[in-house]
Amino acid sequence: MSIAVTTWSLEQVSPAEQLPATAPDGDVRIVRAEVPSPEFSRYLYAAVGGDIRWTDRLGWTYAQWQEDLDRPGAETWVAYDRGTPAGYVQLEPQDDGVVEIVYFGLIPAFRGRRIGGHLLSHGVARAWDLADRWPGRAQTKRVWLHTCSKDGEHAMDNYLRRGFKLFDTKVEEEPDVTAPGPWPGAHSD
């Protein structure tokens, strides 16, 4: 059995297009994970994407995770709510000053608390100033991402409210995979 999945690609072509979100109440901090850790990265990926069918990296080996994290300019920024990981944004620099937000999202328990807009705002700002932290990288000229109909119900609205503009839409048939949850047998809605 397969399902139709719509994928939307969005972009910003100037830092002036950023529309920051208001910071949420409470002790929410965003910190760069500066030590490449396959264990932590896989945890974030599975915890954030388990209920929305992120499955493409679940079969990766430790070496594949390490290689992905070791690329010059690749960054992971993690939101913490009172010391607990709440979500993350992963940046991937590409050629000619392009930065892709390859992963962004919140662990289900932290959704709906205004952390997502704040984390996305921070991640977008870090994409625009990425070259400042990585000597030799081209200054960012474009930040882009994609989201799809399998992602959270508020994802597209959050991207649009942060200043992203739609530039491409595709519909493809994909196998209907049961959401794995962050671990086998975990509850998912």
Residue holding tokens 């760069």?
Answer: 32
Residue range(s) defining the domain that contains residue 24: 2-175
Number of structural domains (the chain) is: 1
Residue 188: inside a domain, yes or no? Answer: no
Residue 182: inside a domain, yes or no? Answer: no
What's phi and psi for 75, nearest 5 deg?
-135, 145
Tell me which DSSP letter residue 139 carries.
Answer: P
Look at residue 69 and give its three-state secondary structure: helix
* Interval 49-91: pLDDT, tens: 988 888 889 889 999 999 999 999 999 999 999 999 999 999 9
CATH value at residue 171: 3.40.630.30
Look at residue 41 and give its three-state secondary structure: helix
Residue 82: inside a domain, yes or no? Answer: yes
* Interval 130-183: pLDDT, tens: 999 999 999 999 999 999 988 878 889 999 999 999 999 999 998 877 666 655
C-alpha span between 140 and 136 (Å, rounded)? 12
Residue 183: inside a domain, yes or no? Answer: no
Residue 17: inside a domain, yes or no? Answer: yes
